[in-house]
């Protein structure tokens, strides 16, 4: 992508997108399950498609649910580059010495990379007990105690808890919250909306998982939730996607280290990098940040393309891939 970021609306053909093939996208949106609030398409640093629905607009914030993990992963890469963290192979117990157990080989071996790739084994069976976590007085302590003693590291197990431990690591290594660190080193440099501190009056379901989320929620120890609980605008999400497509650069500034982008998009477990999913279709590799209910950031570096679909938060897992497969990818002319 180019050195500068233009962001003005351009005609599709100006960035080699076939507008005729893209026409069907508008009709297809009407038949998608759930409620889509907005869709943005950016190619080569310019917006070619930006539509809002049902009263939504450019300033509306959305609970991005598990896309929060992608922000947390970005912050880990920035912290490593700045020397706040030694590297992805640094031991987790370096940051939680109070949880050290000389008899527990797993805890001694656990690294930041295990957290990033969701290859940390927890003792719970089946669904992650997020509601139980919500009711704990100390979430990080509970999570560290929930590691499977002498279990096998390296097997993928989807969870939001590992990202929360990463957020605590950011706080413990930098002396500021993940929110403050993101504002200074990620949001402000890219023109994303800065997040104000959210007062947690309680840890009820409404405040932790519901409609009361307005900024970036935090746990009882003031660690921002690393795996969910962040609100962004659609344009904020596009900016994050652009950074990853543009190898971490924003204009002339290297915001996220290029090598961190490469590591994040590498396949560490099947179709999964550092909190990013990957999908190959039509001979094109797409890297995906996915949020519950049908909110997605799609990044295709080889096509210099970022697509954001924002939906009302829903407990259903709604796949938006057909929009990419049937309309957006086929419209790319080179």
Of 67-81, 138-152, 156-170, the range with the lowest mean pLDDT is 138-152
Mean local confidence (pLDDT), 163-177: 98
Cα–Cα distance between 332 and 307 in angstroms, integer? 12
Predicted local confidence at residue 114, as pLDDT: 97
Mean local confidence (pLDDT), 265-279: 96
Spatial CB neighbours of 92, under 8 Å, sequence gap ≥ 6: 107, 110, 111, 112, 114, 115, 165, 169
The rounded mean pLDDT for the chain is 93
More confident residue, 317 or 271: 271
Cα–Cα distance between 319 and 125 in angstroms, integer? 25
Write out pLDDT tens, residues 70-83. 999 999 999 999 99
Find, among 304, 298, 293, 241, the residue nearest to 63 by Cα.
293
| Residue 284 confidence class, pLDDT cut points 50, 70, 90 | very high
Q: Find out whether 166 and 116 touch, Cβ atoms under 8 Å.
A: yes
Specify the pTM.
0.95
More confident residue, 210 or 134: 134
Q: Find out whether 111 and 90 touch, Cβ atoms under 8 Å.
A: yes
Predicted local confidence at residue 2, as pLDDT: 39
pLDDT at residue 102 is higher than 50: yes
Q: Find out whether 96 and 140 touch, Cβ atoms under 8 Å.
A: yes
Write out pLDDT tens, residues 41-70. 999 999 999 999 888 889 999 999 999 999
pLDDT at residue 3 is higher than 50: no
Number of C-beta neighbours around residue 238 at 10 A: 22
Mean local confidence (pLDDT), 141-166: 92
Write out pLDDT tens, residues 201-255. 999 999 999 888 999 999 999 999 999 999 999 999 999 999 999 999 999 999 9
Predicted local confidence at residue 226, as pLDDT: 98
3-state SS, one letter per residue, for the chain = CCCCCCCCECCHHHHCECHHHHCHHHHHHCCCCCCEEEEEEEECCEEEEEEECCCCCCCCCEECHHHHHHHHHHHHHHHHHCCCCCCCCCEHHHCCHHHCCCCCHHHHHCEHHHHHCCCCCECCCCCCCHHHHHCCCCHHHHHHHCECCCCCCCCCCCCCHHHHHHHHHHHHHHCCCHHHHHHHHHHHHHCCCCCCCCCCCCCCHHHHCCCCCCCECECCCCCECCCCCEEECHHHHHHHHHHHHCCCEECCEECCCHHHHHHHCCCCECCECCCCEEEEECCEEEEEEEECCCEEEEEEHHHCEEEEEEECCCCCCCCCHHHHHHHHHHHECC
Radius of gyration over every alpha carbon of the chain, rounded to an integer in angstroms:
20
| Residue 125 confidence class, pLDDT cut points 50, 70, 90 | confident
Mean local confidence (pLDDT), 128-147: 96
């Amino acid at each position: 992508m180019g050195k500068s970021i233009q962001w003005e609306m351009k005609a599709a053909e100006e960035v080699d997108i076939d507008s005729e093939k893209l026409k069907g996208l508008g009709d297809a949106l009407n038949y998608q399950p759930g409620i889509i609030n907005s869709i943005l398409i950016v190619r080569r640093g310019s917006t070619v498609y930006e539509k809002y629905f049902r009263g939504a607009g450019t300033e509306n914030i959305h609970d991005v649910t598990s896309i929060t993990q992608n922000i947390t992963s970005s912050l880990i890469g920035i912290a490593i580059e700045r020397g706040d963290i030694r590297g992805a192979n640094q031991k987790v117990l370096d940051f939680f010495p109070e949880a050290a157990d000389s008899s527990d080989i797993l805890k001694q071996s656990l690294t930041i990379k295990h957290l990033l790739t969701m290859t940390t084994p927890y003792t719970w069976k089946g669904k992650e007990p997020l509601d139980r976590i919500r009711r704990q007085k100390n979430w990080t302590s509970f999570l560290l105690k929930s590691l499977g003693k002498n279990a096998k590291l390296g097997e993928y197990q989807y969870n939001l808890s590992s990202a929360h431990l990463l957020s605590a690591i950011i706080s413990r290594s930098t002396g500021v919250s993940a929110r403050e660190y993101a504002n200074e080193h990620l949001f402000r440099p890219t023109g994303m909306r800065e997040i104000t501190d959210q007062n947690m009056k309680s840890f009820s379901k409404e405040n932790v998982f519901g409609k009361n989320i307005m900024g970036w929620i935090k746990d009882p120890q003031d660690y921002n939730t690393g795996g969910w609980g962040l609100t962004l605008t659609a344009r904020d999400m596009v900016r994050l996607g652009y950074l990853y497509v543009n190898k971490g650069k924003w204009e002339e500034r290297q915001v996220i280290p290029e090598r961190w982008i490469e590591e994040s998009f590498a396949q560490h477990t099947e179709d999964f990098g550092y909190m990013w999913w990957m999908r190959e279709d039509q001979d094109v590799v797409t890297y995906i940040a996915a949020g519950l209910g049908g909110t997605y950031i799609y990044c295709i570096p080889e096509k210099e393309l970022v697509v954001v679909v924002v939906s009302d938060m829903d407990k259903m897992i709604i796949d938006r891939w057909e929009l990419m497969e049937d309309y957006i990818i086929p419209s790319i002319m080179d």
